[in-house]
Amino acid sequence: MKLAFIGLGAIGKPMSERLIDNGYDLNLYQRTKPNKDAKRKYFFDPIEAVSDCDGLLICVTDDNAVESVLFGDNGVSGSLKPNSFVIDFSTISPDKSISIHKRLGKQNIFYVDCPVSGGTEGAHNGSLSLFIGASKKDCLSFEHIFQVLGKSINYFNGVGKGQQVKALNQILVAGTYAAVAEAMELGKMLDLPMDDVVAALKVGAANSWPLENRSKAMLIDKHPLGFKLELHHKDLSIATELAKSINIDLPIASRVKEMEQRLMQTGLGELDISVIHRYISNKRINH
């Protein structure tokens, strides 16, 4: 199976590396010229990258980026083979996924939305959670791709359903990150032995992925990139718009979205989402 991969960012690049390491023939599209690597096939023309491929994998930032990859001025949709497939690992709106599915379907190309969760760690380790907007039967011919990339592979029968589940995921991420940030800052202000505190909290009902993996970053104010604050803010916008469309209010997610917006205005959007603790610790941001 010959594949092309477009979107070699913080998540996409390690995903592509795992596929190559597991024997996949992968064409990599990259805008800028990389260092020479005999094991990697880089292309600087996306149309050339997808030529004669059985499938295209996409992992880009948002609706507009996916639209551009497929249907923009140098879009690749017209160069995809009939009976090929497109797996979109990007987090975009459910409506955009449905629209793309219909457009590519007219060319006899199967599009599936498959947003992921797990950050850079999960991408490197092959332990991502995959939310797939299709049935397992639909994906039988390429399900091994999912097995290489993910530890939790979840099928939701219907295009756009993967994006809807990802929206729920990001709502939960918002609340838990904000709660861990508040707890860490309050604990520091109380002069508690925070390493011991975190160890104790991990055992009880308060445990969460952010507590396990990002509490230390918050305590020492160092933020290795797992997932950019600005990207999570974009994802929360999708979730709140989805809720708005069916007249549901999301007060906690909306509040965290505001916090993130304030942090982005101070130039922190490129940092890991764990930087949200600075909203609480820095009065200049709050007031």
Q: Does 127 lie in the same domain as 188? A: no
Q: Whole-angstrom Cα distance, residue 85 to residue 141?
A: 10
| Cβ atoms 53, 24 nearer than 8 A | no
Q: Does 185 lie in the same domain as 118? A: no
Among 109, 124, 158, the domain boundary falls at: 158
- Domain count across the chain: 2
Q: Whole-angstrom Cα distance, residue 125 to residue 11?
A: 11
What CATH number does residue 176 fall under?
A: 1.10.1040.10
Question: Residue 267: beta bridge partners?
Answer: none
Q: How many helices (H) and strands (E) does the chain have?
A: 13, 9
The DSSP bridge pattern shows strands 25-29 and 41-43 to be parallel
Each residue of 213-271: pLDDT tens digit? Answer: 999 999 999 998 889 999 999 999 999 999 999 999 999 999 999 999 999 999 999 99
Each residue of 4-60: pLDDT tens digit? Answer: 999 999 999 999 999 999 999 999 998 876 666 767 899 999 999 999 999 999 999
Each residue of 65-106: pLDDT tens digit? Answer: 999 999 999 999 999 999 999 999 999 999 999 999 999 999
Q: Does 110 lie in the same domain as 17? A: yes
Q: Does 206 lie in the same domain as 148? A: no
Q: Does 176 lie in the same domain as 150? A: no
Average pLDDT of the residues in 107-117: 98
Q: What is the pTM of this model?
A: 0.93
Q: Does 78 lie in the same domain as 9? A: yes
Q: Whole-angstrom Cα distance, residue 18 to residue 56?
A: 16
Phi then psi dihedrals of residue 74, to 5 deg: -120, 35
Q: Whole-angstrom Cα distance, residue 7 to residue 69?
A: 9
Question: Residue 58: beta bridge partners?
Answer: 6, 88
Cα distances (angstroms) measured from residue 168 to each of 150, 206, 277, 278? 19, 19, 22, 25
Provide long-range contacts, Cβ within 8 A and 24+ apart, for 39-42: none
Q: Does 222 lie in the same domain as 109? A: no
**Could you list the residue range(s) of the whole structural domain that residue 132 is in?**
2-158
Among 121, 139, 158, the domain boundary falls at: 158
Among 135, 158, 181, the domain boundary falls at: 158
The DSSP bridge pattern shows strands 150-155 and 128-132 to be parallel
What CATH number does residue 138 fall under?
A: 3.40.50.720
Q: Does 179 lie in the same domain as 121? A: no
Q: Does 144 lie in the same domain as 13? A: yes
Question: Residue 155: beta bridge partners?
Answer: 132
Task: Give pLDDT, residue 40.
Answer: 87
Q: Does 209 lie in the same domain as 241? A: yes
Task: Give pLDDT, residue 32.
Answer: 78
Q: Does 232 lie in the same domain as 258? A: yes
Cα distances (angstroms) measured from residue 20 to each of 27, 41, 213, 226, 247? 10, 10, 27, 22, 44
Q: Does 234 lie in the same domain as 108? A: no
Give the pLDDT band (50/70/90) at residue 177. Answer: very high
